[in-house]
Each structure stands twice: as C-alpha cells, then as structure tokens.
Amino acid sequence: MRAVIQRVRRGGVTVEGKELARIGQGLVVLLGIGPEDTEETAQAMTYKISRMRIFEDDQGKMNLSVLDVGGEVIVVSQFTLYANTKKGHRPSFILSAPPEMASPLVDRFVELMREEDVPTQTGEFGAHMLVDIENDGPVTIWLEM
C-alpha cells in the first residue's frame, strides 16, 4: 500500500461536475493498493496516518496529528502510485492491484479511518476525478507499507 499524504487548508473532489467531497483543514490521502496488500496493511496504514504528527502546535513545530487538530480526510484511490516507469516513456500499471481487489481495500481503509474518529470522505473509485488541493506548507509525505 502506498500513500501520498498532503496536509491541506482545504480539499475537494469533483466527478462529472458533481462535488463528492469537501473538507477544510486536514489531509488529502492519495491511496494506491498493491497486489500483496491485505486488511492488516490497511490497518497499519490507517494507524500511521491518523497519528502522523504533521500539523503545527502553538510553538510552530509539527507536533500534532489530524486527530489532535480535529481535521478531516479525503481519500482518493490512486492506482498510478504503482506506475512502473523503468522502460520507455509510457508508464505500466501492472504492479497495481486489480480493481476487484483494490476497491474493497480502499473502502476498508476509509472505514478504518472513520473508526479512528477521523471524519473521512472519498472520491469515486475508478472515476475520472478533479481533485482540489490547497497544500498547506507545503507538506507532502510519501508512505509505503
């Protein structure tokens, strides 16, 4: 499982002109699922992201998590995080999990975030999405489990 975690002032997801998600302060998590990923991987990723201290405290130090600041999360399925670019100029995506495996794991990740008491919204699996991100910092973290 791979994630690009962006600390945001605001974020949103639109599909075919319809807004599916909108948050204020929080995280936009671009989430890729690999063929070896399991429920345990989703649990570990959820635990790590919900507690990652990347928000500033009153001293200006990154010392607070999304839980600490009462932030929200948008999860966007992102199979392109498994792009293989070693040959040629056209990425290959054979390293990403097939949709029938990836979709339920993305859904489970979202459920787990909600179980951690993190308000979590999503895009639409497999859809062409417009993702609005106002990156705060900028703070962008790559995480792989």
In whole angstroms, what is the distance from residue 67 CA to residue 39 CA? 22
Active site residues: 78-80
In whole angstroms, what is the distance from residue 101 CA to residue 126 CA? 13
Q: Residues of 28-51 as b/e, b for ≥16 C-beta within 10 angstroms?
A: bbbbbbbeebeeebbeebbeebbe
In whole angstroms, what is the distance from residue 93 CA to residue 33 CA? 11
Give yes or no for a contact between 82 and 32, defined as CB atoms under 8 angstroms apart: yes
How far lies 122's CA from each of 31, 33, 77, 103, 112, in Å? 11, 15, 8, 12, 13
